[in-house]
Amino acid sequence: DEEDEDDVVAPKPLVEPEEEKTLKKEEEEEAAPHELTEEEKQQILHSEEFLSFFDHSMRIVERALSEQINIFFDYSGRDLEDKEGEIQAGAKLSLNRQFFDERWSKHRVVSCLDWSSQYPELLVASYNNNEDAPHEPDGVALVWNMKYKKTTPEYVFHCQSAVMSATFAKFHPNLVVGGTYSGQIVLWDNRSNKRTPVQRTPLSAAAHTHPVYCVNVVGTQNAHNLISISTDGKICSWSLDMLSQPQDSMELVHKQSKAVAVTCMSFPVGDVNNFVVGSEEGSVYTACRHGSKAGISEMFEGHQGPITGINCHAAVGPVDFSHLFVTSSFDWTVKLWTTKNNKPLYSFEDNSDYVYDVMWSPTHPALFACVDGMGRLDLWNLNNDTEVPTASITVEGNPALNRVRWTHSGREIAVGDSEGQIVIYDVGEQIAVPRSDEWTRFGRTLAEINANRADAEEEAATRIPA
């Protein structure tokens, strides 16, 4: 009978269960390997397959022992090939890393990005409210660190109103400034144990009472101010030591009519007085803070929708291009302007969605980046081409990209999307690093753009019936 058989086949072991496991394991280990003969060993050691594997592995192990960076990079170019075997734009733009926090950034729009000038590896991102989490603070600012592999933010700051703009306070490496939807300016300090602001401006007629989409620290180590503008056209200048009231303020009004609804602003490099602003109605304005002509100077028309981003030329070199600026808009275009003319020099029309932000490279005179509502990041080198971008990459899942920000070195670029994710790309050397003749080439490119524009205007004038 079966039970008897079982008793015969499996007698009760004399050893303890733990000892039995060890014995079994030893038996298996002894039985597993097939002992190679000397001849077989030599054959494997000298085989093409083994030598190739050993050579490749040895390099990786050597790198692993001495380096903290990507040791698996393949210099033969295979890493840059896609399935069809073509070299991708990956050679020009390659994913470095992503920043996302399940609690603090999920379902929040990345409203602003800024890299620290003191610690270039630190990135501050501001976020608006998460409608799915009404119990969480409306406004969040996270400081992310590129230096370490950790996936959590270095600092978490929050406040009771959605944060629309944020910046590291230049000359104060511990301070982060936020502009909020309520109109309050808030100041966080990473030396404080609180996540809430250490200082905030009053919600009064003396300060802002409308959303603040622009905050910027301008000036020098010994003489600097925080400049903020709200959507009712009010511009305030603050001392970071005292946010109880602005040092001065004024209304940005065009031709004594209605206030300019400012959506974005930019100061030329090294200038603390003159600046440019974009508005909700699609016009662009130059303005200045001081002197007899303080306020709006000129109006620039050309866009057919609200201005989403504006940025003054940033790369300092042998030729001065500080009169140039670029704008992005809901009208699907990016436009190039000079402060010397109130019509655009050129319109870039390669996008088929809202263009949400634009920024010049801080190091290359002819290079700028823009992002759109389809998840696309474009890099335009105007010395190469003005019709199509030099490099493009689309973020997985096609989220609307709301913000773009170059690092100070111009070798990496960060984009922020509508779902709370930040993606950092490395920009290939052949794009990011300018050759010595780039400035003179860009001068020629601009002359060409100007000549073409003059021709087009002339042609249009002849078509208009008298």
d(CA 148, CA 154): 10
Percent of the chain having pLDDT more than 90?
63
Reading the block at residue 348, the tokens are 């870039």
Q: Report pLDDT for 158.
A: 94
246-295 pLDDT tens trace:
999 999 998 877 889 999 999 999 888 899 999 999 999 999 999 888 88
Contacts of 173 by beta carbon, 8 Å cutoff, 6+ apart? 116, 118, 119
List the one residue out of 146, 148, 162, 150 whose CA is nearest residue 112.
162
pLDDT band at 416 (very low <50, low <70, confident <90, very high): very high
What is the DSSP secondary structure assignment for residue 129, as one 8-state letter? Answer: -
- Note whether 128 and 138 are within 8 A (CB): yes
Please state the pTM of the whole predicted model: 0.78
Contacts of 377 by beta carbon, 8 Å cutoff, 6+ apart? 93, 369, 370, 371, 392, 393, 394, 395, 401, 404, 413, 415, 425
401-406 sheet: strands from edge to edge: 93-99, 422-427, 412-417, 401-406
For range 372-387, the mean pLDDT:
94
First vs last C-alpha separation in the chain: 116
| E strands present in 15-89 | none
84-129 pLDDT tens trace:
333 344 468 999 999 999 999 999 999 999 999 999 999 999 999 9
List the one residue out of 278, 201, 200 whose CA is nearest residue 233.
278
Q: Report pLDDT for 81.
A: 45
Phi, psi of 403 (to 5 degrees): -140, 150
- Note whether 337 and 344 are within 8 A (CB): yes
170-218 pLDDT tens trace:
999 899 999 999 999 999 998 888 899 999 998 888 999 999 999 999 9
List the one residue out of 312, 111, 281 whose CA is nearest residue 211.
111
Reading the block at residue 321, the tokens are 């291009």
Phi, psi of 169 (to 5 degrees): -75, 105
pLDDT band at 21 (very low <50, low <70, confident <90, very high): low
d(CA 8, CA 441): 93
Phi, psi of 462 (to 5 degrees): -70, -25
d(CA 334, CA 342): 15
Reading the block at residue 277, the tokens are 């602003």
> Which domains does the chain carry?
96-456 (2.130.10.10)
